[in-house]
Structures are given as structure tokens and as C-alpha cells.
Structure 1
Amino acid sequence: MSVIVSAQNEEATLPAVLREAERLLPEELIVVLNGCSDESYLRARQSAVAMVVHYPDAAGHDVGRAIGARLSRGDILLFLDGDMAIPAPALAPFVTAVDEGTDVALNDLNPLLPSFEHTDPVTRCKLFLNLAVGREDLGASSMTAVPHALSRRALSIIGPKTLTVPPKAQAAAVLNGLSVKNASSVNVIGRNRVRRSNTGAGNAVEQMILGDHAEALAEILARGGVRKFREAGGPGYRSRLAAWRNQP
């Protein structure tokens, strides 16, 4: 197992994140730091087992995951962010799911979401993307959220570079017939660090994620998913999404 942690200015939380990751006894722990101006590098170096990859300049929101995946050697890849420490027992189901044959083990945030009428644009994009690839059962689960885990087979098929756009990677996994499942539910919504870039309507992170989903939908069209895409966007798709989200 390879645990991949990406971080940018997470000196306060990174030590706890790494401690929980080490409790899983991974074969390798890869920490990708990019654009850090605080003490994140020193905190990461305090780990006796971590391989620390340090980029002085900001590489991009999800580029750290791609870099870590490219460097990894494990059969199971578990992805974490440096801004939230998740207890090891809550991470274990994602590893177990891949060990038992799942290629993409997602964090099921659906139980934590409000009714459809109160969902935000990002959630609706996630719902629509899964509907467009015929995986309405996944709801709003997405590789945009951590924790999630991949098999080595999934990585070899979709490629590390694709991980820079998580929704595109997820669409590629489904279109290639990989096993994509909701593995467990970890509440990362409340743990998510509040930043200037991720607060307020139309914030920078929201715009980036919406753009990522547009790129993923373009990938579906490019790979011949026109019929399924049109069915997803056809008459009644909003009511179908609402019915799914509002079910008891």
C-alpha cells in the first residue's frame, strides 16, 4: 500500500495526518508539498518513514496527487489531504475495498448532503456526471473528495496525469469498465479547512471544480458517450436527480 498526502501550507495539521497514515503500516508514505511558505516541509521531515517531495512553487490543486501516484509502487494507493487528520480506522475500509477487488473506492458523502433543492452547484455537477456515465447509484460521490483509494490496475489504465482532473479520472475509470464503488462514509465536510479561496458563492475552488466537471463531460463525449450523455441531459433529468437525492 502507498499512502499519498498532498499539502500546501498545512503545518498545523500535517503531523497528525502523517501519524494516522503511519498507523496503517503502508509500504510507502509519499508527501507532496507544493507552494508551501510555512513550516510544512519541516513537519513532513519529522516523519521517519515519509518520502517528501517538495515543490517551492504551487503546482496546482490536484497535481500533488498525480505526482505522488507517478512515484508510487504500491498495489493500493490511498489519497489524503494534509489539511485534515482522519483516524486510521476510518481510512481502513478504503484500503480493504481495493484489496477485495474494487478499483476506485470513493468516500460516500451522500448521507451528509441536503435535499436536492438545497444542494450547491458542485454537488449537482457531481450528480450529473455520475448520471451521464450510467452510475446514478454513486450519487454525488467523487474522486474530488478524500479519502479515496485506487488499485494499481486503475492507475495503469487511466494514467497518473489524469488524476490532475479528478472528475475526468473518475469518468475514465467508469468508461473503461473498472470497478467503482462507494467504500465508506467519512465526514470531511466539517473538517474541510476554511480558506479565502473556498468560501463564498462562485469562489475560486468552486469554479475550478465546475471546470473540471466540464472537462470530464467533454471526455465522455470524446469517448463516444454521446447517447448516454444525451439521455442524462434529456427531459426529466433534474427531477430524476431530485428524486434520488430526496429519497428516504
Structure 2
Amino acid sequence: MSVIITACNEETTLRSVLKEAERLKPEEIIVVLNGCVDNSFRRARQSDKAIVVHCPDAAGHDVGRAIGAKISRGDILLFLDGDMAIPAPALFPFAAAVDRGADVALNDLNPLLPVFGECDDVTRCKMFLNMALGREDLGAGSMTAVPHALSRRIVDVVGPQALSVPPKAQAAAILEKLHVQNAGTVNVIKRNRIRNGNTGAGNGVEQLIIGDHAEALAELLARGASGLPWQENGADSRRLLAAWRNGI
């Protein structure tokens, strides 16, 4: 197993994240520092197990995942963020799911979400993309969220560069008939670090994620997919999504 941790100015949490990753006894831990200007590099270097990739200039929101996957050697790739220390026992189900044959093991946030009318736009985008792909069972399960784990096979099939746009990579995995499933529930909603760029309606991170989902839908259409929910049901697609979410 390779544990891949992306971080941007996470000097206060990175050491704790590394300690939990080390408890899993992985083959390697790759830390991708993305435009850090604090002491994150020093914190990462305190772990004798960490391979540190230092990008002095910000490479992009999810580009660190692609970089980590590109240089990794493991058959199982577990992705974490440097801003939240998740206990190792809560991480284990994701790696175990891939070990049992899954290609994508997602964080199942569905039990933590409100009814459809109270969901945010990002959550609705996640649900809509999965419905468009014929995977309503995933709900809001998304490669946008951590923790999640991947098999080496998906990296070989879609290419590591695809991971820089997580929803597009997820769509490609489903279209390639790879095994995608929800594997465990970790409440990252409460753990998520509040930043200037991820708070308030229409914030930068929200717009980026929505744009990523638009790219994924464009990929779906470019592959000639037919019988999509909005094609068959028109205005009913929103009602179907709401019925699915509210029925949980």
C-alpha cells in the first residue's frame, strides 16, 4: 500500500496525519507539498518513512494526487489530506475494500447528509453525476472527498493525470466497468479545515468542484452515452434525485 498525502500549509496537523498513516504499516508514504509557505516541509521531513515531493509554487487543487499516484509503487493507493488526522482504524476499511477487489473505495457521506432540499450545490452535483452514470447507489460518494483508496488497475486504465480532476476520473472508472463502491464513513465534514477560499456561498473551492463535475459530464457525453436521466426524464431528474435522497 502507498499512502498519498497532499498538503498546503498544514504545519499544525501534518505530523498527526503522518503518525496515523504510519500505523497502517504501508510500503511507502508520499507527501506532496503544494505551494506551502509555512513549516509543512519541516514537519514532513520529521517522518523517516515519508517521501516528500515539494512543489514551491501551487500546482493546482488536486494535482498533488496525480503527482503522488504517478510516483507511487503500491497496489493499493490510499489518499489523505494533510489538514485532518483520521485515526488509522477508520482508514483501514478503504484499503481493505481494494484488497478485496474494489478499484475505487469511496467515503460514504450519505448517512451524514440532510434531506435533498437542504443539501449544498456540491453535494447535488455529486449525486447527479452518479445518477447520470447509472450509479444512484453511490449517492454522493465521490473521489473529491477523502479518505478514498484506489487500485493500481484504475491508475493504469485512466492514467494518473486523470486524478487531478477527481469526478472525471470517477466517471472514467465507471464507464470502463471498474469496481466502484462506498467503503466506509468518515465524518470529514466536521473535520474540514475552514479557509478563506472554502467558506460562503459560491466560494472558490465550491466553484472549482462544480466545474470538475461539469468536465465529468462532458466526458460522459463525449463518449456517446445515451439514455441519461435528463434525456429521458427532463425536469423529473431533480425530482428523482430528491426522492432518492429523502428516502434514505
Into which bin does the TM-score normalised by the smaller protein fall? over 0.9
- Structure 1 residue 229: Cα displacement: 5.3
- Structure 1 residue 228: Cα displacement: 2.3
Aligned position for 1:152: 152
Give the 5 Å matches for 1:1-248: 1-228=1-228, 230-231=230-231, 234-248=234-248
Could you list the runs of 4 or more consecutive aligned residues of structure 1 that deviate by over 6 angstroms after TM superposition? none
Matched residue of 1:227: which SS? Answer: coil
Classify 1:161/1:119 alpha carbon distance in 2 versus 1 (closer, same or farther; 3 Å): same
Matched residue of 2:211: which SS? Answer: helix
Asked if the contact 2:229/2:237 (under 8 Å) is kept, the reply is no
Amino acid in the other structure paired with 2:68: G
Matched residue of 2:238: which SS? Answer: helix
Residue segments in structure 2 that go unaligned for 5+ positions in a row: none
- Structure 1 residue 152: Cα displacement: 0.4
- Whole-angstrom distance in 1 between the partners of 2:53 and 2:20: 19
Q: Could you list the per-position Cα deviations for residues 189-228 of structure 1 after superposition, in whole angstroms to 9, with x for gaps in the alignment?
A: 0000000000000000000000000000000001111332
Asked if the contact 1:221/1:229 (under 8 Å) is kept, the reply is no
Alpha-carbon RMSD across the aligned residues, in angstroms, is 1.0
Residue segments in structure 1 that go unaligned for 5+ positions in a row: none
Scaled by the length of structure 1, the TM-score of the pair is 0.98
- Structure 1 residue 179: Cα displacement: 0.3
Scaled by the length of structure 2, the TM-score of the pair is 0.98
Asked if the contact 1:8/1:36 (under 8 Å) is kept, the reply is yes
Aligned length: 248
